[in-house]
A = this chain, B = another copy of it.
Amino acid sequence: MESVEAKSFKFKGREYPCCASLTMGIIGGKWKTVILFHLIGGKLRYSELRKCMPTVTERTLSLQLQALEDDGLVLREVYHEKPPLKVEYSLTAFGKTLIPLIQAIADWGEVAAE
């Protein structure tokens, strides 16, 4: 059909009108890129993430981590062997495909900062 480009992009059941908005729907929001950025270096415990991001609340961090996990970007591993509960977060293989993008976002932010 020669209609005016009505094609849409789908991901996990959500629809987006543009490939750019699909990406933003996944990594957008105030904290997701920050979490992903810190996870580039490797696994981090919940408490380590909080130290990296002192201004986020526990609730928000928890919610964003869940969203990232649901989208398959982040892996959550629980070690409950002994009382000091330990949970580690890391990038999945799919999440790692975002590394160049996250790095570019961080780099641009450094340059643009006054």
Contact = CB atoms under 8 A, between A and B. Distances in A.
Taking chain A's interface residues, is the majority helix, strand, or loop, or is none over half, making it mixed?
A: helix
9 contacts: A4-B54, A10-B114, A16-B109, A20-B109, A21-B30, A22-B112, A24-B105, A25-B30, A100-B104
A76 to B, nearest CB: 20
Interface residues of A, number: 46
A28 B24 contact: yes
Given A9-B113, A24-B30, A112-B26, A19 B51 contact: no
Interface stretch (A31-39, A62-70, A81-89): A31-39
Given A20-B36, A24-B30, A104-B104, 12 more contacts: A19-B37, A19-B106, A19-B107, A19-B113, A20-B102, A20-B109, A21-B31, A21-B33, A24-B28, A26-B112, A98-B108, A101-B108
